[in-house]
Amino acid sequence: MGRQTVIRGDDGGGDDDDVERPFSAPLPPPDSINLKDENLDEQLRPQRLADVVGQRKVVERLQILIDAARLRKDPLGHLLLDGPPGLGKTTFATVLPKELGVEVQITSGPVLTAPKDLLPYLTNGSRGSILFIDEIHRMPATVEEFIYPVMEDFRVDITLGEGLSARTINMPLEPFTVIGATTRSGMLSAPLRDRFVNRLHLDFYSVEDLTEIVTRNARKLRTEIEPAAAFELARRARATPRIANNLLHWVRDFATVKAKGHITVDVARDALRMQEVDEAGLDEQDRKYMTTLLRIFAGGPAGLQSISHSLNLPPDTLEDEVEPFLLRLGFIQRTPRGRVLTAEGLQHLGITPPDSRGAGQGQLF
């Protein structure tokens, strides 16, 4: 059974997509943050819904849900948050109880291997509390079926005994809210998905929003950063706050050693160059994928298995970690015949694309 975490509504804060994290302390002022604290990432996260940068449509809709729940004095309706990793699903799931002043318990789909693993969370919940299930698409079918009456009727059906002597006990529960987070909403069964009365999709962030996030978090880290340097990190962060924060941590370390802690645009570029993150946000593995597709497969089409063998990497690593960003940038295409480098991808590699006549008819060269 997984570890249970209870967070009580107060003036603390939280964010993003890890699971089972304890926090309860309010955010200290920037000048009192312990930079050696292992919970530093928690302290950098937003305190309130109003503190969240970006995702304005999601924030506005959540504010309506919160205000309505307060006026009716009812629990928040079950909520499903979906979107790519690192966009702040856990941010919203942990900020909401702060806004409502209720408890929240945090777990994840892979931890709930059987219905009995879910029981402690259900029986310990108070009226209006929140149960946050990260990676909810990874719950086994038996747990998923067990949670249906929980979400609809706030009751637990427990079967005692076996065969003819078996009997079912209905245990009533305090009304509460289930918040599910998923990066693959399509993997949720229709019955489970339909039990979430509210569904919100988180999209990628603009460079302007990421610049603001980097600037704020640098201030919390007591690190001086020039506006141009914050912009430099933001535009290489793949439109994802988690990546922006990771880059900020690296550049801060680099600046501490090389520039007395002050992050100028030149320091940021030198740090990112050492990390091999280019101006488009591609790292070494991304570029290796593209150059392999170009040099070994003449730009494609090439099958995923063939590319993975050439790179000595598992196909699911390429499909889940490398290809999505390259597809978003338009540097590669997935075709029925395999992966193909686009003209934009060639240009990024510093190669002039061939004549566009005959494009889509096979290999580039």
**Total-model pTM:** 0.77
> Same fold for the domain at 5-201 and the one at 207-274?
no
CATH label, 284-348, candidates 3.40.190.10, 1.10.3470.10, 2.60.120.380, 1.10.10.10: 1.10.10.10
150-205 confidence digits (pLDDT tens): 888 888 877 666 666 667 777 788 889 999 999 988 888 888 888 898 999 999 99
The residue ranges of every structural domain in the chain are 5-201, 207-274, 284-348
Please pick, among 15, 17, 41, 134, the residue that the annotation labels catalytic.
Answer: 134
**215 among known catalytic residues:** no
Query: Catalytic site residue 168?
Result: no
Q: Rg of the chain's alpha carbons, rounded to an integer?
A: 24
Least Cα distance to 248 among 282, 279, 274, 214 occurs for 214
CB 94 within 8 A of CB 46: no
Report the distance separating Cα 323 and Cα 331, nearest Å.
9
More confidently predicted of 329 and 45: 329
Question: Is 134 considered catalytic here?
Answer: yes
Which runs of consecutive H residues, i.e. helices, occur in 50-140?
56-72, 89-100, 115-124
The number of CA neighbours under 13 Å toward the Cβ of 1 is 9
* Most confident option among 16-25, 43-52, 229-238, 356-365: 229-238
Contact yes or no for 121/131 (Cβ under 8 A)? yes
Please enumerate in sequence order all residues whose Cβ is within 8 A of that of 143, keeping only pairs 6 or more positions apart, or say none. 112, 113, 114, 115, 117, 118
Catalytic residue, from 107, 182, 183, 211: name it: 183
CATH topology of domain 207-274: Helicase, Ruva Protein; domain 3 (1.10.8)
Residue 173, φ and ψ in degrees, nearest 5: -120, 155
Identify whether 270 is a catalytic site residue. Answer: no
Give the model confidence (pLDDT) of 253-289 as tens digits.
Answer: 999 998 888 999 999 999 999 999 999 999 999 999 9
Residue 42: per-residue pLDDT:
62
Q: Does residue 73 carry a catalytic annotation?
A: no
The answer, yes or no, to whether residue 358 has pLDDT greater than 60, is no
The type of residue at 152 is E
Does a cis peptide bond (omega within 30 degrees of 0) precede residue 140? no
Tell me: cis bond preceding 97? Omega within 30 of 0 counts: no
Q: Per CATH, the architecture of 5-201 is what? A: 3-Layer(aba) Sandwich (3.40)
